[in-house]
Amino acid sequence: MIKFLLSLFKPFRWFIEKMDVDYDQFIRILQLKLTLDNRQMKGLGNHSKNETENALTKQSFAQIMFGIFFAIFLLMIKSPFTYYYFAHTFLMVMMAMMIISKFTTILFDTSENVIIQPLPIKGNTISLARNAHVLLYLSMMAFNFSVVSIIVAITKFGIISALVFSFSIGLNVLFTLFLANMLYLVIMRFASGEKLKNLLMYFQIVIAILFMAFYQFGINLVDRTQIQNMVLPVHWYTYLVPPAFFSGLVEAFTSFVFDYRHCIFIVEALTIPIIGIYLTGKYLTPIFNRKLMDLEQGDRVSKVKTETTHQSLWYRMMLAVFVHRQEEKASFKLVWTMTGRERLFMQTFLPSLGFIVIMVAVQFFRKNSFNVDELIHSPLYLFILYALMFVAASLPAALLLGNNGHATWLFKTMPLSSPAHYFKGFIKAAFARFFMPFYLLVSVGICVLWGYKAIPDVVIALLSIYLITLLFYYIQELVFPFSNEKRASQGGAAFIKVMGLMIIAVILGFLHFFLLRWFNYASLLLVPFYLGVIYYVNRVFVYKKINWEEVDKANAYS
């Protein structure tokens, strides 16, 4: 596959050499980068590194599958302009996500400078190889995502239309690359080093949540017949929306209409990406490379923020509520401080938070009549409270992620009777710091809407969520926090986990609901029950389950 991709550059050899680039070196660097992509490490920790050789092929397959799902949605649309508009928007969003998630690490990885820079390679060759790598990657992705939509387009709008569509995808890739470059430069103007990485992380989280919101609302709220007959109107500002250029171009060649409206689109579609890529090569890349050089020294130059050692009132309160043993204090504090700074943790946890909020919102708006009176007399708030169980239950898995695998020896060298103390402290801290404030906020909202009589229910739901979170954490693989670089396999196990959680949430929710129906304060019976089980889990179960033998199996202490 790599050989094939590299052979694509052969016809452009004269062009590449004209840019004052050593062709052989260029191809070799590109080959290296692709080989590295192809060999992404999978598996947990250092001890079980499974080596995969075909990461690219596997990834392509997944992308094609994703493209099929999208094509099913597109299949319903009759208007060619709308069809291509959505296809291009989808592509741009996917590529933007890809650039942000994958290429942020590649673009800002300056460690390889130590290898590449001392070699006799021209600056031009390095930057061209870098751009070609990104471009190749994006084109491959764009092709995979839209290959099914292209086939659908052939059957719907004919072969010429589909061919022009394929061509416009190429333009779209160039344009997105230009946009991404612009975006990075703008961001880099305002931030550097750690701050920059944090900024990109939040950006990524926001996009992920927006994407989910768009999808959820789109699926649930839009009528199917509406999609079928949807025709996007063309306003003056439509000429400023990038996907519209490309869809306008394709539509012109589908229905062979070349009025002034289509001509504007055609001109835009053809010129803007070309100008963009010219600007990228001529001005943006050199600036970018210079900034990258600075970035390497980044934190040394810019002022490094001093962290405050001051402990907030919230921390002290939560410590008093959750931690009653001296041994747990240190691990509680460790996770409390680190969760806020570990990017992988935030990247996993915050989107799940956003996702639940969106799901709940969709449920609200689904009933077209948003009637407050009716709402107050329904026990919908129970649904909201138990839906939050998914937020809390994503904490255990999120806690595993991070780049601190090499620091786990620390725990093993401490003279502590049982590792259970550590794990209790970890999950309590994560729960207290991230879930509690969010839950309190929602509770206040619920009490405003449903009145004070909801307070016991809020407490009961909290207890049950706490219990389930603890159990999830103690049962999962006993890896120390922030030590897995890659997400664990998202396959069957994760699915079963989510289904199991769903069933548990529904059962506990209904138990609560029926007791509430039975007589007014029957649900209060659950309070001693949950407290008892939590006590058992934290005092007996956890010490039985978590011992050094089990913990040593899961960690490498490298």
Partner 1 sequence: MDNQTIVQIHNLEKRYGKKQVLHGINLEITSGQIIGYIGPNGAGKSTTVKILCGLINDFEGDINIFGKDLRTHTLEIKQQVGYIPENAVLYESLTPMEFMEFIGEMRGLENEICRSKAKALMNIFEMKPNLNQRIATFSKGMRQKVMICSALLHNPDLIFMDEPLSGLDANSVIMVKEMLTHLAREGKTIFYSSHLMDVVEKISDRIILIDQGKVIADGSFEELNKLSNDENLEKMFTRLTGNTNHGEKAEAFINAFEK
> What single-letter amino acid sits at 384?
I
Residue 44 or 420 with smaller CB distance to partner 1: 44
By the rule CB under 8 A, 59 interacts with partner 1:
no
What is the C-alpha to C-alpha distance for residues 486 and 23, in angstroms, rounded to an integer?
Answer: 35
Q: Where are the alpha helices (DSSP H) in 48-122?
A: 55-75, 80-98, 104-107, 113-116
CB of residue 6 to partner 1, shortest distance in Å: 14
Instruction: For partner 1, give the closer residue by CB, 24 or 223.
Output: 24
What are the Cα distances from residue 76, in Å, to 73, 80, 208, 224? 6, 11, 25, 8
Looking at beta carbons only, is 5 or 32 nearer to partner 1? 32
- Identify the bridge partners of residue 401 per DSSP, sorted by sequence position: 484
Residue 274 contacts by C-beta under 8 Å, 6 or more apart in sequence?
174
Nearer to partner 1, 41 or 62 (CB): 41
Judged by beta carbon, residue 30 or residue 478, the one nearer partner 1 is 30
Q: Which is nearer to partner 1, 39 or 58 (CB)?
A: 39
Q: Is 49 in the site for partner 1 (CB under 8 A)?
A: yes
Nearest distance in Å: CB 14, partner 1 = 21
Contact 482, 404 (CB under 8 A): yes
Comparing CB distances to partner 1, the nearer of 119 and 186 is: 119
In three-state secondary structure terms, 421 is: helix
The reply to whether 363 sits near partner 1 by the rule CB under 8 A is: no
Backbone angles phi, psi at 116, to 5 degrees: -75, -45
Q: Read off φ and ψ for residue 484, nearest 5 degrees.
A: -100, 125
Is 28 a binding residue for partner 1 by CB under 8 A? The answer is yes
- Mark out the alpha helices in 222-284 (DSSP H runs): 224-228, 242-255, 260-279
- Stretch near partner 1 under the rule CB under 8 A, chosen from 32-40, 95-103, 202-210, 541-549: 32-40
Measured N-to-C along each axis, helices 159-190 and 285-301 cross at an angle, to the nearest 10 degrees, of 30
DSSP-assigned beta bridge partners for residue 51: 41
Contacting partner 1 (CB under 8 A), which of 11, 14, 51, 490? 51
Per CB under 8 A, does 271 bind partner 1? no
Q: Segment near partner 1 (CB under 8 A), from 105-113, 131-139, 169-177, 506-514? A: 105-113
Q: 299 — alpha (psi -120 to 50), left (phi > 0) or beta?
A: alpha
272-301 binders of partner 1 (CB under 8 A): 293, 297, 300-301
Smallest separation, CB 415 to partner 1 (Å)? 17
Considering only residues 6, 25, 76, 438, which one is a binding residue for partner 1 as defined by CB under 8 A?
25
Q: Cα separations (Å) of 383 from 256, 365, 470, 502?
A: 53, 14, 21, 12
According to the binding rule CB under 8 A, does residue 302 interact with partner 1?
yes
Q: Is 111 in the site for partner 1 (CB under 8 A)?
A: yes
Our CB check for partner 1 shows the closer of 109 and 552 to be 109
Say whether residue 32 binds partner 1 (CB under 8 A): yes
Site string for partner 1, 374-393 (x = CB under 8 A): --------------------
247 exposed, middle or buried (CB, 10 Å; 0-12, 13-18, 19+)?
Answer: buried
Q: Does 1 bind partner 1 (CB under 8 A)?
A: no
Task: Check residue 40 for interaction with partner 1 (CB under 8 A).
Answer: yes
Other C-beta atoms closer than 10 Å to the C-beta of 90 total 20
Number of residues that bind partner 1 (CB under 8 A): 28
Query: Which residues, at least 6 apart from 68, have a Cβ–Cβ distance to it below 8 Å?
Result: 148
Smallest separation (angstroms) from partner 1 to the CB of 111: 5
Closest by CA position to 432, among listed 386, 476, 385, 399: 399
Stretch of 74-82, 111-119, 277-285, 401-409 contacting partner 1, by CB under 8 A:
111-119
Q: What are phi and psi of 51, to 5 degrees?
A: -100, 125
Least CB distance to partner 1 at residue 22 (A):
9
The residues in 112-151 that bind partner 1, with binding defined as CB under 8 A, are 112-115, 117-122
Please, what is the minimum distance in Å from the beta carbon of residue 40 to partner 1? Answer: 8
Q: Is 24 in the site for partner 1 (CB under 8 A)?
A: yes
Q: How far is the CB of 292 from partner 1 (least distance, A)?
A: 12
Identify which of residues 53 and 374 has a Cβ nearer to partner 1 in the complex.
Answer: 53
CA 473-474-479 angle, 5° bins: 75
Q: Residues interacting with partner 1, by CB under 8 A?
A: 24-25, 28-29, 32, 35-36, 39-41, 49, 51, 111-115, 117-122, 293, 297, 300-302
